[in-house]
Amino acid sequence: MKILITGADGQLGTALQSALSGHHMTSFDHARLDITDAAALRTVIADAGPEAVINCAALTDTAACEGDPENAMLVNAMGARNVAEAAREAGAAMVHVSTNEVFDGEKSSAYDEDDATNAINAYGLSKLAGEEVVRETLEEHFIVRTSWLYGPGRASFPEKILNAVREQGSLRLVTDEVASPTWTTDLAEAIAHLIETDAYGTYHLTNEGECSRMEWAEEVLRLAGVDVPIEETTLAEYGSPVGKPKRSTLANNRAAALGITLRPWQEALRYHMRIWVGAKS
């Protein structure tokens, strides 16, 4: 299959290039292809002639989105529309990567793919708008919602926790923000299987299970063999300038029905720590 990836220099884009190495693949980072430039995007996708376009390009810095919601919409919504329109004109299917933050976090159990959305921050609103324009623009689409991505390519949550320990000697962590840490290597493999189907629609793809930010950090420290004082706090006490959904675990129902599942988050984290952080477990 001929595949084109936007945002290929990010964590997920990097993992997808490995997972899809058996395909004919064209990859673009932001410097080479800006998804907000509709004309350039149409030209590039038309010239490449892909059968599938995977849109990993996004503004994911939630604080930056909150500070400039118009720019968040430009990248995450209008950029998504540009990709969808270019894919449609080229006769290609599209995978659009979205987020658990399209939900408000008030549900007492995991969110199904058909649950009502209600984003509570600028990032979530822009990603939700991106989902909507993809659905409106292109019938042959996969919208993949995921959460708490980490993996090779840049310092992510595990590395940041270990760096904070080295610098501060203690941690202050939130107990009431709950979701599923998702290793980009596993997510990329799941997407690689998904695009082999024509079962278009919206999917939740995360590593299995859920935890709080504090529980995730505790597992990182356990695997690294590090013992430091941890102060428990809440989202309200932490005082983040960005509203966060408290419990935004995603239920992977539709993909599981196709036989596509991801391993438990603890197991994925153990592999990540062994390979990329060098921890012994």
Encode pLDDT of 132-182 as tens digits.
Answer: 999 999 999 999 999 999 998 777 899 999 999 998 888 999 999 999 999
Q: Is 238 a catalytic residue?
A: no
Q: How confident is the model at residue 275 (pLDDT cuts 50, 70, 90)?
A: confident
Q: Read off the pLDDT of residues 106-138 as tens digits, 9 standing for 90 and up.
A: 999 999 999 999 999 999 999 999 999 999 999
Instruction: Look at residues 260, 188, 197, 144 and name the one whose alpha carbon lies nearest to residue 16.
Output: 188
Confidence bin at 280 (pLDDT 50/70/90):
very low
Q: How far is CA 265 from CA 36, 127, 169, 255, in A?
A: 34, 24, 26, 17
Around Cβ 52, how many Cβ atoms within 10 Å?
Answer: 21
Instruction: Specify the pTM.
Output: 0.94
What is the rounded average pLDDT of the residues 265-270? Answer: 97
The mean per-residue pLDDT over the stretch 186-198 comes to 96
Q: What's residue 147's pLDDT?
A: 97
Domains identified in the chain and CATH numbers? 2-154+180-210+248-264 (3.40.50.720)
State the DSSP code for 102: G
Residue tagged active-site, from 123, 150, 200, 238: 123
Local confidence band at 82 (pLDDT 50, 70, 90 cut-offs):
very high
Placement of tokens 């350039």 in the chain:
40
Compute how many other C-beta atoms are within 10 angstroms of the C-beta atom of residue 4. Answer: 28
Helices (H), the chain: 11-19, 38-48, 62-67, 69-73, 79-90, 122-137, 157-168, 184-194, 213-224, 235-238, 253-257, 265-272
Which helix (H) or strand (E) element contains residue 212? strand 211-212
At CA 261, angle to CA 255 and CA 263, rounded to 5? 155
pLDDT, one tens digit per residue, over 211-252 is 999 999 999 999 999 889 889 998 888 777 778 999 999 999
In this predicted structure, the answer to whether residue 76 has a pLDDT above a threshold of 80 is yes
CA distances in angstroms from 13 to 73, 126, 196, 208, 266, listed in the order given: 21, 20, 18, 21, 23
89 Cβ contact partners less than 8 Å away, ≥ 6 residues apart: 42, 45, 46
Residue 278 in this model has a pLDDT that exceeds 70: no
Residue-level pLDDT at 279: 54
Percent of the chain with pLDDT over 70: 98
Six token digits for residue 92? 């290609």
Which residues make beta-bridge pairs with 173?
232
